[in-house]
Amino acid sequence: MRVATASIVAAALSVSVAQAEELRIGFMATFTGPGANLGQHLRDGFLLGVEHAGGRLGGLETRVIVSDDQLKPDIARQEVDKLLTRDKVHFVVGVVFSNVLMAIYKPVIESGAFLISANAGPSPIAGALCSERFFSTSWQNDQTHAVMGKYAQDKGFTRVFLLAPNYQAGKDALNGFKRYYKGTIVDEIYTPLGAVDFSAEIAKIQALKPQAVYAFMPGGSGIALIKQYAQAGLNKQVPFLSAFTVDDTSLPAVGALADGMVSASQWAVDLKNPANERFVSAFRARFGYVPSYFAAQAYDAAQLVDAGIKATGGRLDDKAALRDALRRAQFPSVRGQWKLNTNHFPVSDFYLVTPGTLGDGTRAMVHKELVFADYADENAKDCPMRW
């Protein structure tokens, strides 16, 4: 289902380009079901990036065509075929969930278009299946979870209960956690993707009495889990550790229930750098809510496209030159320094984050401490690209 078309043109930006050509970008995300709010953050962040480029990424008139994958790989494949064959897009950008990215990966790459993930980072694409036409502005799936595994290990939790959805990102998540956590896993449960009833899982937690719970449960599933966890009184008994569960997409819905819960991220709304401060201020003014890492990653995706195309002088037909320009691109990333690994995934700092309060009293996830500096994902060693 095609949910929106945004054609954003502004005369304010004047850039010398080799040819007057329309840049067409297919923006795919989830706008249906429990993950819909994640798609909204992703889309709004990207469109703000386009606006900040004067509506002309790389100096080219830019048309953004937004598609809803409905969190269904078969629908995503149909939608991306339309973007590639009917709309003849030069880039496909976005994608919240890894199963969707895996479904569209091959057709996009084989079409000659570039694919930029602003969120999903499945491990196969970071490793043996890497491609010169795929770039990420987020992370490889297991990196953020590895941060929490180290945190749990350092805190001395010897018995931990693990919970994640049953799809690629869920498996990457728990594998990432276990990379640094060496204690006992009392149970490891994979729920259906999009689940909102966790009564059975909560009963198991109550019976097993772990020292901590680690959960990856994105979108509406995470909101449901946090509420049910608190209703069972577990938030006062068993520390709740997570990634992509307690975040700026779920915090408005769960409020004080998330107090004391810790998570991890490569970005936070209160990071002190000029690019991030500009982004957060403009995003809140434009959309009326606090941006999440989804929005921040998508904003950087727009900046990556902008910088890459500018470096080629606006030429979209020279794919090798555009690939090299995207690899070398430098721009004021909201996370601070921008650096790509050889598998086209970012090398980033990662932080422990927790619910806090901004200067104006607004609740948001704020960074507490640096856990990993310049963290490059381990799967890059399996990627055959060398540049």
Domains of the chain: 2-139+269-347 (3.40.50.2300), 142-265 (3.40.50.2300)
Beta strands at 212-215 and 363-375: parallel, antiparallel or unpaired: unpaired
**Would you give the DSSP letter of residue 13?**
-
Task: Give the pLDDT score at 21.
Answer: 81
pLDDT 10s digits, 109-132: 999 999 999 999 999 999 999 999
Q: What is the pLDDT of residue 186?
A: 98
At 67 the pLDDT is 98
Q: How far apart are CA 168 and CA 190, in angstroms?
A: 11
* Contact yes or no for 312/318 (Cβ under 8 A): yes
List of residues 6+ apart from 226 with CB closer than 8 A:
240, 245, 246, 250, 254, 257, 258, 261
Sign of CA dihedral 358, 275, 300, 57: positive
Tell me the C-alpha distance between 45 and 131, whole Å: 25
Please, are residues 162 and 189 in contact by the beta-carbon 8 Å criterion?
yes
pLDDT digits (tens, 9 = 90+) for 237-253: 999 999 999 999 999 99
Cβ count within 10 A of residue 272: 9
Return phi, psi of residue 353, to 5°.
-125, 155
Q: Is the dihedral of CA 254, 255, 259, 264 positive or negative?
A: positive
Report the distance separating Cα 249 and Cα 293, nearest Å: 9
The C-alpha angle 252, 137, 273, rounded to 5 degrees, equals: 70
268-293 average pLDDT score: 97
Beta strands in 312-362 (DSSP E): 348-357
Query: Global pTM?
Result: 0.91
pLDDT, the chain, mean = 94
Give the span between the Cα atoms of 333 and 49, in whole angstroms: 11
